[in-house]
């Protein structure tokens, strides 16, 4: 990026932003800064005062700090820690307590002195809270203030639990939680109704007094609020915007969380860019949306009036550019006859319904094309089964035992034990082994029923039950060697030519991201020919048309069949245990997104379809190379192909855009 571009970016981005594509690299980067601070302070004989956060975002940082302690001798004896917040009321021993979170994820693994650990208590009597919060502030001041503060960011833009309306001068206090915040936490508490309505939090002023602040954000679901916090005006409705006034605050974000920043989404607006095929497609689609014109109707003036003069200048006029992008887009569309036949394929599904939710249309077409398909369900998904579902099956089994010979008193006793457990179970309690097994079986049976909708058989379903998931809690273990080995064994056995992987990074409980991590690790060790990797989305978000390499059209009947397969997952229907902020059923989300993708394609001037699924494709771990058709072959006014299921580029040459950013 040129100096002028850097200046324009700085004008838009009102706080420094470091974009690191891989979360583990962010964790190492921030942990290294903290380690350097600890060592510098120790050498000076001073305490290193850390402000710490909870949740999934900082866990990687804490794991890296633990590694530095164990392997490189990082000494925490001079560290004083203050945590941002805690739910109220909250027993410190509860599995939902931030006290427990911090000890399990950091403090018990390093040599920090217990008296140097400060975490707001959620069990303080209500009449004593004000005095307690005042003492918390006094203790921070007594040790000289916070040297380094870690922050996450909520979807409302809250830092700590400073919800919309929090003032710049606010201090540690009891606050009421915003509805969106409580919905976001519902997965951890097994239902929004179990989430506390209040919390104790450091105030904005307390946070702003830290000498250095690192805000961490990952995932597509954080992209809109990151843009608002970085590029928007300062507002008490978005507490993170106050960080624009801090002299040493930095946002550390992954590529997904940075996706809505102007320099990433529309880099041509902030200065010169290095034009690639992917960026050309991205720009032309954006221009089409801004002007309301189809691709082939864009004119040179449209480009010049929307910061795209340098792009149109590469082609001399709008016509050749429009034609090249139109053909690149049209070649992405692949109906059944252009999809693989006779291939060995493994479809990896993180949960036992992601296959039909996200790629049910593709799965149906691949089966019809006679491919050798295995659907590998990576986790049991058992924590996402309501207890009332288990009770329904227990009643069925009880009646079965009483009706048919061979099912005796032993089964009845076991059913009684399971029901007794459920009677005493409190929200958030870990299920007994029998209940977990029952929930696993429920989801496996639903998964088989789902693929049978397409004419597939139960023999095509593999249930991997990866160990990292088997905690019985929302919080999972890190991906380990055993998880990778299970996936590697399947790859070695089936030797797939293609695999399908969930690339949905907005999954609210992180399982999709972890399952993808396990697959990538297995592929690095795999000795067979590298398979093509097709990434799907759909449960939480869909690939944008500009990023997708392949668009698969679905007829109305095919979409209905896909929805029918989703209906087979009865334990997830009507109300999903982990809906995120979108409370619609999964089939409703799928219908809207698949139809929405087709509508975008239609507005671009491409053939009209009822619905579409989108995929990003990688070969040998790298983006598929875009095949460029010389402008001279296109002419200035390319003729649209006839409407049909599978249009192609001129001369039958396909152009697959690489889903990368410049």
Could you give the residue numbers annotated as active site? 163
**486: closest CA among 359, 384, 377?**
377
User: Helix 354-368 and helix 556-567: axis angle, to 10°?
Assistant: 130
If you search the block for the tokens 């250095």, which residue do you land on? 212
Residue with tokens 């989430």: 195
How far is it, in rounded angstroms, from Cα 539 to Cα 512?
10
CB 385 within 8 A of CB 422: no
User: Phi then psi for 544, rounded to 5 degrees?
Assistant: -65, 150
| Alpha carbons 260 and 241: distance in angstroms, whole number | 16
Helices (H), 258-299: 262-265, 277-291
Q: What is the dihedral of CA 12, 15, 20, 25, to 10 degrees?
A: 180
Alpha helix stretches (DSSP H) within 44-128: 59-72, 98-105
Residues in Cβ contact with 480 at an 8 Å cutoff, skipping those fewer than 6 apart: 467, 468
Asked if 31 and 65 count as a contact pair (C-beta separation under 8 A), the reply is yes
DSSP secondary structure code for residue 478 in this structure: P
- Give, for 120, the enclosing helix (H) or strand (E): none
- In the 8-state DSSP scheme, what is residue 407? -
CA distance 406 to 467: 34
Residue 85 tokens read as: 């917040």
| Angle at CA of residue 36, ends 33 and 42, nearest 5° | 140
Task: Answer positive or negative: Cα dihedral of 73, 74, 78, 84.
Answer: negative
Token reading at 141: 């001041």
In 197-335, where does DSSP find H-type helix?
A: 204-208, 223-231, 262-265, 277-291, 300-305, 309-315, 318-330
Q: Is the peptide bond before 89 cis (omega within 30 degrees of 0)?
A: yes
- Specify the residue for token string 């291939």: 343
Contact present, 605 and 639 (Cβ < 8 Å) = no
Distances (CA, A) of 120 to 53, 83, 130, 334: 12, 7, 12, 56
Separation between Cα atoms, residue 306 and residue 296, nearest integer Å? 17
Indicate the SS3 state at residue 500.
strand
CA distance 631 to 282: 18
For strand 498-502 and strand 344-349, is the pairing parallel, antiparallel, or unpaired?
Answer: parallel
CA–CA gap between residue 41 and residue 56 (Å, rounded): 28
φ, ψ (nearest 5 deg) of residue 478:
-65, 155
Q: Which of 449, 454, 400, 391 is nearest to 421 (CA)?
A: 391
Q: Which residues pair with 86 in a beta bridge?
A: 200
């Amino acid at each position: 990026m040129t100096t002028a571009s850097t200046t324009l970016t700085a004008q838009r981005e009102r706080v420094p932003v470091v974009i690191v594509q891989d979360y583990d690299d962010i964790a190492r980067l921030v942990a290294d800064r903290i380690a350097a601070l600890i060592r510098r302070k120790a050498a000076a004989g001073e305490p290193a005062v850390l402000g710490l956060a909870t949740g999934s975002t900082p866990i990687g940082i804490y794991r890296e700090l633990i590694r530095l302690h164990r392997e490189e001798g990082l000494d925490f004896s001079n560290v004083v820690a203050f945590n941002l917040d805690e739910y109220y009321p909250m027993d410190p021993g509860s599995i939902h307590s931030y006290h427990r979170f911090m000890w399990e994820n950091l403090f018990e693994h390093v040599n920090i002195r217990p008296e140097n650990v400060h975490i707001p208590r959620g069990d303080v009597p209500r009449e004593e809270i004000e005095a307690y919060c005042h003492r918390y502030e006094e203790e921070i001041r007594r040790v000289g203030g916070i040297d380094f503060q870690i922050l996450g960011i909520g979807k409302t833009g809250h830092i700590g639990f400073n919800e919309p309306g929090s003032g710049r001068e606010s201090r540690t206090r009891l606050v009421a939680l915003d509805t969106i915040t409580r919905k976001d936490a519902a997965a951890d508490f097994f239902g929004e109704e179990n989430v506390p309505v209040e919390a104790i939090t450091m105030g904005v002023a307390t946070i702003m007094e830290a000498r250095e602040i690192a805000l961490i954000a990952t995932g597509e679901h954080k992209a809109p609020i990151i843009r608002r916090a970085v590029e928007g005006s300062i507002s008490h409705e978005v507490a993170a915007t106050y960080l624009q006034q801090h002299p040493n605050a930095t946002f550390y974000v992954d590529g997904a969380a940075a996706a809505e920043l102007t320099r990433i989404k529309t880099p041509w607006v902030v200065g010169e860019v290095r034009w690639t095929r992917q960026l050309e497609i991205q720009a032309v689609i954006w221009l089409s949306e801004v002007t309301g014109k189809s691709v082939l109707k864009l004119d040179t003036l449209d480009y010049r009036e929307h910061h795209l003069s340098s792009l149109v200048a590469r082609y001399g006029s709008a016509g050749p550019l429009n034609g090249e992008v139109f053909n690149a887009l049209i070649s992405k569309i692949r109906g059944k006859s252009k999809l693989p036949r006779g291939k060995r394929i493994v479809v990896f599904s993180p949960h036992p319904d992601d296959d039909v939710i996200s790629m049910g249309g593709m799965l149906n077409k691949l089966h019809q094309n006679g491919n050798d398909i295995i659907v590998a369900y990576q986790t049991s998904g058992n924590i996402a089964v309501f207890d009332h579902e288990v009770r329904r099956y227990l009643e069925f089994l009880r009646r079965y035992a009483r009706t048919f010979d061979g099912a005796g008193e032993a089964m009845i006793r076991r059913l009684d034990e399971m029901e007794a457990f459920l009677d005493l179970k409190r929200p958030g309690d870990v299920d007994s082994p029998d209940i977990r097994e029952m929930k696993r079986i429920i989801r496996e049976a639903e998964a088989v029923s789902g693929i049978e909708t397409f004419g597939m058989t139960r023999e095509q379903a593999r249930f991997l039950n990866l160990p990292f998931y088997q905690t019985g809690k929302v919080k999972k273990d890190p991906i380990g060697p055993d998880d990778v080995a299970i996936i590697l064994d399947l790859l070695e056995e089936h030797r797939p030519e293609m695999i399908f992987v969930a690339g949905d990074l907005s999954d609210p409980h992180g399982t999709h991201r972890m399952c993808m991590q396990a697959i990538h690790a297995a592929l690095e060790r795999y000795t067979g020919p590298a398979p093509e990797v097709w990434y799907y989305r759909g449960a939480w978000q869909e690939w944008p048309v500009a990023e997708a390499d392949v668009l698969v059209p679905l007829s109305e009947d095919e979409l209905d069949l896909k929805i029918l397969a989703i209906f087979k997952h009865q334990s997830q229907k009507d109300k999903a245990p982990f809906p995120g902020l979108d409370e619609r059923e999964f089939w409703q989300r799928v219908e809207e997104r698949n139809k929405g993708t087709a509508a975008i394609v239609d507005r671009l001037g491409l053939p009209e379809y009822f619905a579409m699924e989108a995929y990003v494709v990688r070969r040998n771990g790298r983006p598929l190379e875009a095949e460029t058709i010389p402008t001279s072959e296109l002419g200035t006014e390319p003729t649209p192909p006839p409407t049909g299921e599978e249009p192609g580029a001129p001369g039958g040459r396909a152009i697959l855009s690489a889903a990368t950013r410049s």
